[in-house]
Amino acid sequence: MIEKNKNKFIEIFDDNIQRDGKEQLKEYLSKSDFFIAPASSKYHCAFEGGLCMHSIYTYNRLLSIIQNEYKEDWQQKYSAETIAICGLLHDLCKIEYYKADLRNKKINGEWVQEPYYKCEEVLPYGHGEKSVYIINGFLRLTREEALAINWHMGGFDYRVKGGSFSLSETFAKFPLALYLHTADLLATYVDEKRG
């Protein structure tokens, strides 16, 4: 399963992304825990390989949203490369973030050890903004790609909760951000059946 999803991810990546720096980015992903990391500690895809799986689901959803929206003209609006970059790479902020550990839990009066993922932030740069920072270290994002990845959490973003209006300004001016947020939600709540 992990190997199959890794191959699928690399196939979509190679078929669609030709930008300078892509090989270095791919090497970074392969050396990191990206292909074995979970997508969350307990909510969705909280298992080995979950992050890669979630990224593929988000890419598929983003592609179908844009194709549905623009029909046969979709490639004049967004390139297949932009869709792959946003879908596949929006959650690179989760690399080296979830650490497998054991905790004690009382079940029927007995203490047992159960595995779980704990969060350990080594680069406290936020969420979407952290993904943009990591990706831009390898390949140059367009303004709309950077904004879409930056704001992919939509209204769940802490900056929005703190009163920022930049999200709605971004959604109004750069629809790709709205499509990526929607794709992320559909992947999480429909494809992965977040509990």
Residues near Fe ion (CB under 5 A): 91, 184
- Residue 170 CB, nearest approach to Fe ion (Å): 15
CB-based contact 188:156 (threshold 8 Å): no
Residue 111, classed as helix, strand or coil, is: strand
- Residue 11 CB, nearest approach to Fe ion (Å): 20
- If the CB atoms of residues 106 and 128 are measured against Fe ion, the closer one turns out to be 128
Q: Whole-angstrom Cα distance, residue 162 to residue 157?
A: 9
- If the CB atoms of residues 16 and 58 are measured against Fe ion, the closer one turns out to be 58
- Residue 33 CB, nearest approach to Fe ion (Å): 16
Radius of gyration (Cα) for the chain, nearest Å? 17
CB-based contact 113:102 (threshold 8 Å): yes
Q: Whole-angstrom Cα distance, residue 66 to residue 180?
A: 10
- Residue 106 CB, nearest approach to Fe ion (Å): 33
Comparing CA positions, the residue from 145, 146, 144, 166 lying closest to residue 155 is 166
- Residue 6 CB, nearest approach to Fe ion (Å): 18
Phi then psi dihedrals of residue 140, to 5 deg: -85, 120
